[in-house]
Chain A
């Protein structure tokens, strides 16, 4: 079901505290949502796996009304460029991108930005007789955008493609461009973190960020430490895999990880990693994966 802007606003009101929205923010949000098309969004993929886009498509609001990725695209943002979702291809897609880039837009980047070899290990499109690298594309766009959103751990911190020996010199969006970015990590990221951050921006508010550039509401403080929130905290340790218990002895990285997975859960409140007896991998942290590899201690 595609919901109306009014219903989306109702959702935001109901979850205002969770999103960090105050009354004036809600008023601005209402105004922003009254605009016809929503803000223009250019979504580029660097050294991505598309997992964060797929995860975004798992969006469904925790409270009534139901709002999902279709609602987001149809009612709230004007997503002019996203290579996995867009109708246009080739020169027509490039033309859409250039038109959007000439106006005001929000830049979303999924995947890291390779910098070795002139950035040529990731080219995004063909323009004026040559392939344009992800490095050139983000550098041209990040300085002119309304905001830069790094979606997923790769765009936020480099992530898996930057793991040792970092074969293609992958950097985060902020490091590759030298421009500030809001980091929404997770491998993949949680759809609610992306939608929640976009809702704040629609309301004209810049979310408070933690020391790693992450929206503090989702990542900061002892209440966001995975181990401290974990329902298995204090349980007997599992002796081996396939057992229900605290997974510390198997290598669980919950104590070193800031995220709200134990409370928010994943896939419409279905489960989370530890719920399936699989260890927390630390995937929202800036050191992921190398700081947590080997992932298992047995």
Chain B
């Protein structure tokens, strides 16, 4: 007989999330991911000066603020047709890179590893669901918690060399960067980076590889659709045509078949979200947000971004696959391995970028943000593809739309009736398609439905960031009390992500 388990809160993620899983004969047969907070950033941005956007959007998320800063200044650069001096481009990359490193280390040791390794026998690590601990209690991964605290902190100290302060850094401005590097800065940055590369190579990567030998079954759990997408990040030249991680997509887990990405094919579906179906399948550049609650079959405030109508997974595994850098598969452990290997590749690249800084050359070019127009900023947060779409008129923001990585990954299902067996395994959009994380959960074996640690392992492999993703609310089982007043009140500004 099927059991329905609600996990609320889902802990060891950024933000507020719950998940409802149906478990039948010790396997997950259905999953609904629900985010439980909404703030309305896009509404807050409307009517403000465009240059406020990089400051405000960094407050969406304290784990990946730098990525929002990068996306926001890129959108304003694109709006205004700015050319960024090489130093400005490199300083942005180095600061964003520092935050990727801190985020990945934070994620593995503090958010994900406790699903596999028993933490210290005290709060906040204990109690925890402990049904399937396979590593010995004195294993070195647990003992690396303390050096990982230092590593994560050092990555932020490295980012602050040019960023000024971490986690939020306001050296990102349209037209370039504010910090003027000195030889002392370079030496500080280089010294932290060397220490970190040593930690990544000799501790982080080996720890994840060790996990693989104890939990090899997780190389075939949490597989999902195999549709992977990357917006690309870390421009290697002024035009951005060369990047450390290229833009592109992979469908159905087919290696070597990386396709190019056409922005006009991104739409957002609302069939199972609490929005008016007349706004279904709009492009983010022309997005409309008309809440409708209650609504039959809807269970989420998250819209469902789709590419060519299909669900796509984003994140380090997607970046590494698209770039041809990862030779493994698609699973819980593959996500962790790709994340670790990406950290190493990035840290090595950053050593080269540091030497490309030209002391004394400009970091910013004096320019004015265009008072009317529109722009797009595409980049990557540590946890996946991030896009900001901005429109201005009369020197003010008139529309600001954000699609975050967790919006892709934790999106609700799309289309069809809410039947038992109509999941679309092929992910081709022809019938009801689950969101990528929901799809990855289906099939997960669960030993004890009262303590479904296996479900957490799948969710954590995506490194969800719910403050970014914003909003889904309680499923139909326990409908949230909303009235028409709320729908009206939020009408202008419920963020789609």
Given the known inter-chain contacts A87-B114, A242-B176, please indicate yes or no for A51 contacting B164, CB distance below 8 A: no
Interface size class, chain A: 35 or more
Q: Which 8 A-B pairs have the closest CB atoms?
A: A51-B62, A87-B128, A276-B164, A167-B40, A242-B364, A126-B8, A267-B160, A90-B7
A45 contacts partner chain B, Cβ-Cβ < 8 Å? yes
Nearest B-chain residue to A283, judged by Cβ: B168
CA distance A57 to B148 in the complex (A): 11
In the assembled complex, which residues on chain B have CB atoms less than 8 Å from the CB atom of A276? 160, 162-165, 169-171, 178-179
CB of B456 within 8 A of CB of A89, answer: yes
Interface size class, chain B: 35 or more
B435 to chain A, nearest CB (A): 20
CB of B164 within 8 A of CB of A294, answer: no
A49 contacts partner chain B, Cβ-Cβ < 8 Å? yes
In the assembled complex, which residues on chain A have CB atoms less than 8 Å from the CB atom of B156? 54, 58, 267
A residues 220-257 with Cβ under 8 Å of B?
240-244
A10 contacts partner chain B, Cβ-Cβ < 8 Å? no
A198 to chain B, nearest CB (A): 15
In the assembled complex, which residues on chain B have CB atoms less than 8 Å from the CB atom of A279? 170
B116 to chain A, nearest CB (A): 12
CA distance A131 to B362 in the complex (A): 53
Given the known inter-chain contacts A164-B44, A295-B55, A296-B51, please indicate yes or no for A124 contacting B123, CB distance below 8 A: no
CB of B62 within 8 A of CB of A188, answer: yes
A115 contacts partner chain B, Cβ-Cβ < 8 Å? no
In the assembled complex, which residues on chain A have CB atoms less than 8 Å from the CB atom of B124? 73, 79-82, 85-87
CA distance A93 to B474 in the complex (A): 19
Can you list, as one digit per residue, whether each of B151-185 has a CB less than 8 Å from chain A (1) or not (0)? 01100110111111111111101011111100000
A148 contacts partner chain B, Cβ-Cβ < 8 Å? no
Highest count of chain A CB atoms <10 Å: which of B49, B88, B149: B149
B6 contacts partner chain A, Cβ-Cβ < 8 Å? yes
CA distance A216 to B111 in the complex (A): 35
In the assembled complex, which residues on chain A have CB atoms less than 8 Å from the CB atom of B456? 89
Highest count of chain A CB atoms <10 Å: which of B37, B120, B146, B162: B37
B152 to chain A, nearest CB (A): 6
CA distance A47 to B466 in the complex (A): 11
The stretch among B242-250, B383-391, B479-487 that forms the contact with chain A is B479-487
In the assembled complex, which residues on chain B have CB atoms less than 8 Å from the CB atom of A178? none
B283 contacts partner chain A, Cβ-Cβ < 8 Å? no
B418 contacts partner chain A, Cβ-Cβ < 8 Å? no
Given the known inter-chain contacts A53-B62, A121-B38, A242-B177, please indicate yes or no for A92 contacting B15, CB distance below 8 A: no
Can you list, as one digit per residue, whether each of A255-298 has a CB less than 8 Å from chain B (1) or not (0)? 00000000000111011111111110100000001000111100
CB of A289 within 8 A of CB of B56, answer: yes
In the assembled complex, which residues on chain A have CB atoms less than 8 Å from the CB atom of B279? none
CA distance A74 to B124 in the complex (A): 9
Given A87-B124, A116-B489, A131-B18; 9 other pairs, CB 8 A cutoff: A49-B62, A86-B12, A86-B128, A89-B7, A92-B129, A123-B474, A271-B164, A273-B165, A278-B171
In the assembled complex, which residues on chain A have CB atoms less than 8 Å from the CB atom of B93? none
CB of B478 within 8 A of CB of A131, answer: yes
Listed by A's residue number, 20 A-B pairs whose Cβ atoms lie within 8 Å are A49-B60, A49-B61, A50-B62, A55-B62, A85-B124, A86-B11, A86-B124, A87-B119, A88-B11, A116-B486, A122-B36, A122-B37, A124-B9, A165-B44, A267-B157, A270-B188, A271-B160, A276-B164, A278-B164, A278-B170
Contact of A55 among B36, B167, B490 (CB under 8 A): B167
B335 to chain A, nearest CB (A): 19
CB of A89 within 8 A of CB of B10, answer: yes
Contact of A51 among B39, B65, B364 (CB under 8 A): B65
CB of B164 within 8 A of CB of A126, answer: no
CA distance A124 to B363 in the complex (A): 43
CB of B146 within 8 A of CB of A1, answer: yes
Given the known inter-chain contacts A69-B149, A241-B178, please indicate yes or no for A51 contacting B168, CB distance below 8 A: yes
CA distance A53 to B51 in the complex (A): 27
CA distance A63 to B52 in the complex (A): 37
CA distance A130 to B43 in the complex (A): 29
In the assembled complex, which residues on chain A have CB atoms less than 8 Å from the CB atom of B122? 37, 74, 78
Contact of A92 among B111, B127, B363 (CB under 8 A): B127
Given the known inter-chain contacts A93-B11, A122-B36, A278-B164, please indicate yes or no for A130 contacting B56, CB distance below 8 A: no
B177 to chain A, nearest CB (A): 7
CB of A123 within 8 A of CB of B62, answer: no
B402 contacts partner chain A, Cβ-Cβ < 8 Å? no
CB of B157 within 8 A of CB of A278, answer: no
CA distance A66 to B376 in the complex (A): 44
B444 contacts partner chain A, Cβ-Cβ < 8 Å? no
CA distance A5 to B11 in the complex (A): 29
Highest count of chain A CB atoms <10 Å: which of B13, B161, B166: B166
B366 contacts partner chain A, Cβ-Cβ < 8 Å? yes
